[in-house]
């Protein structure tokens, strides 16, 4: 897969809190609170990645499973491979930590995100009715084997 990303992906630190807060509010209709973002940055088991000032991913690991909880790319940063790059870096990080499967929920209406996750090797495994606060369903997706194979 060819991308046009000229910004490196790195692990976010507490110093990135304001950038994550801005991205969270810009990218997602139901942003986490400031407290939740700070906790994610400070809590072991969480993985917080940032790509320049235009994209981020937050997830966590429990045992040999992980979950992608937040993924956002700024409006101007979209269409250049940042989202897929963030997912691939998270998968590689979790693979190195012994993760066997990764889960996520995505809005049923968010076809772009579903296609991105499918490109990263995720499969639809279920639906959660009225999962979001506005009543929208979530599509449950999983990547069962977190390996080093090329998923592009």
Q: What is the pLDDT of residues 40-93, one digit of tens each?
A: 999 999 999 999 889 999 999 999 999 999 999 998 888 888 999 999 999 999
Residue 97 resides in a domain: yes
The Cα 144–Cα 115 span in angstroms is: 17
Distances (CA, A) of 99 to 110, 114, 117, 140: 26, 22, 17, 18
Residue 109 binned pLDDT confidence (cut-offs 50, 70, 90) = very high
Residue 131 resides in a domain: yes
CATH (domain of 26)? 3.40.630.30
Strand order from edge to edge, sheet including 138-143 = 9-11, 46-51, 55-62, 65-73, 101-107, 138-143, 123-128
Does 146 score more than 90 pLDDT? no
Q: Number of folded domains in the chain?
A: 1
What rounded mean pLDDT belongs to the chain? Answer: 91
pTM value? 0.89
pLDDT of residue 74: 92
pLDDT of residue 147: 64
Residue 4 resides in a domain: no
Q: How many CB atoms lie within 10 A of CB 115?
A: 11
Residue 35 resides in a domain: yes
């Amino acid at each position: 897969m060819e991308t046009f990303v000229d910004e490196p992906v790195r692990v976010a630190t507490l110093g990135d809190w304001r950038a994550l807060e801005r991205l969270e509010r810009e990218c997602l209709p139901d942003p986490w609170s400031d407290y939740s973002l700070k906790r994610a940055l400070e809590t072991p088991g969480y993985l917080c990645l940032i790509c320049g000032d235009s994209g981020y991913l937050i997830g966590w690991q429990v045992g040999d499973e992980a979950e992608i909880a937040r993924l956002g790319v700024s409006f101007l940063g979209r269409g250049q491979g940042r989202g897929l790059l963030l997912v691939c870096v998270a998968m590689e990080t979790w693979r190195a930590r012994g993760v066997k499967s990764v889960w996520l929920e995505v809005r049923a209406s968010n076809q772009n995100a579903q296609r991105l996750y499918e490109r990263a090797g995720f499969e639809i495994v279920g639906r959660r009715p009225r999962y979001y606060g506005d009543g929208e369903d979530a599509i449950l997706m999983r990547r069962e084997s977190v390996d080093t194979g090329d998923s592009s």
